[in-house]
Amino acid sequence: MEKNKKAIAVLSGGLDSVVASSVYVKDYDIHAITFDYGQKSVKYEIKASKRVCETLGFKHTIIDLPWLSKLGNSALTCEEELPLIDPDDLDNKSVCDNSASKVWVPGRNIVFTAIATSFAEDEGASIIIVGWDKEEAATFPDNSKEFLESFNQVLDIGSTVNVEIKAPAIDLDKKEIVKLGYTVNAPMELSYSCYRGNKQHCGICESCLRRKRAFKTAGINDPTDYLE
């Protein structure tokens, strides 16, 4: 039976967005949107997103943004080498700021959330679900609580419908996200986090390192198949 409340989920197929979407699966009819902006990992992000949507019963739409890959010089979307950091430096802000600057995609979350707003207005959705979290916010300002609050203020003024962005992991680090995912039975085993875009998680990019650490420190079995 169709649920009364509708939601739009920005679903990359990664750990954060999969857990965030799973929080609302019981109460909302969710339409997930996944973006292809020329990222190295797009093939497996889309594959993961499709599997998550099939498992959770979401409608799924893939949106192509070919122009976004041509802006900036992100190592996620061009031939630049992806930055590598030592696992011991995951909490070193200087090192991580430098790494983040090399994978930054100009305006990415602003664009994604604006498009999600269009879908929400069209479909009468009352919330937009995103995977923004405290650990990512340390180096990516478009994951921060301030960004969330500001964007919701923009929607209050600029949208003709009553829609709110929900980020259930906004105050959580990756370890806490894994614990939340376990609690809400999120299909974390289907998620894909690697920057490199191989079938298996590389195990050495910063995203993989954070994923590894999260499962280990949460004390929850890591279902991920890593190359290293």
pLDDT digit string, tens, across residues 69-114: 999 999 999 988 999 999 999 999 999 999 999 999 999 999 999 9
- Residue 161 annotated as part of some ligand binding site: no
- Residue 166 pairs with which residues in a beta bridge? 129
Phi and psi torsions of 165, nearest 5°:
-80, 130
- Average pLDDT of the chain, as a whole number: 96
User: CA-CA distance, 115 to 130, in Å (whole number)?
Assistant: 13
- Residue 19 annotated as part of some ligand binding site: yes
6-218: CATH superfamily: HUPs (3.40.50.620)
- Residue 53 annotated as part of some ligand binding site: no
- Is the predicted pLDDT of residue 2 greater than 80, yes or no? no
CA distances from 216 to 156, 158, 182, 211, 212 (A): 40, 42, 13, 9, 6
- Residue 180 annotated as part of some ligand binding site: no
- Residue 14 annotated as part of some ligand binding site: yes
- Residue 154 annotated as part of some ligand binding site: no
- Residue 202 annotated as part of some ligand binding site: yes
- Assign 228 a pLDDT band (cuts: 50, 70, 90): confident
What is the pTM (predicted TM-score) of this model?
A: 0.96
Give the CB-side neighbour count of residue 153, counting CA atoms within 13 A.
6
Domain ranges of the chain: 6-218
- Residue 78 annotated as part of some ligand binding site: no
- Residue 16 annotated as part of some ligand binding site: yes
- Is the predicted pLDDT of residue 20 greater than 80, yes or no? yes
- Residue 171 annotated as part of some ligand binding site: no
| Nearest of 137, 70, 81 to residue 109 by alpha carbon | 137
- Residue 193 annotated as part of some ligand binding site: no
Give the CB-side neighbour count of residue 201, counting CA atoms within 13 A.
24
| Nearest of 77, 62, 138 to residue 107 by alpha carbon | 77
- Residue 130 annotated as part of some ligand binding site: no
DSSP3 helix / strand / coil % (the chain, rounded to 5): 45, 10, 45
- Residue 13 annotated as part of some ligand binding site: yes
- Residue 124 annotated as part of some ligand binding site: no
pLDDT for the residue 1: 47
148-187-40 Cα angle (round to 5):
70
| Torsion 76-205-213-86 (CA) sign | negative
- Residue 209 annotated as part of some ligand binding site: no
pLDDT digit string, tens, across residues 169-204: 999 999 999 999 999 999 999 999 999 999 999 999
Q: In the structure encoding, which two tokens stand for residue 222, read together?
A: 């890591």
Residues with Cβ within 8 Å of residue 218, at least 6 apart in sequence? 175, 176, 178, 179, 182
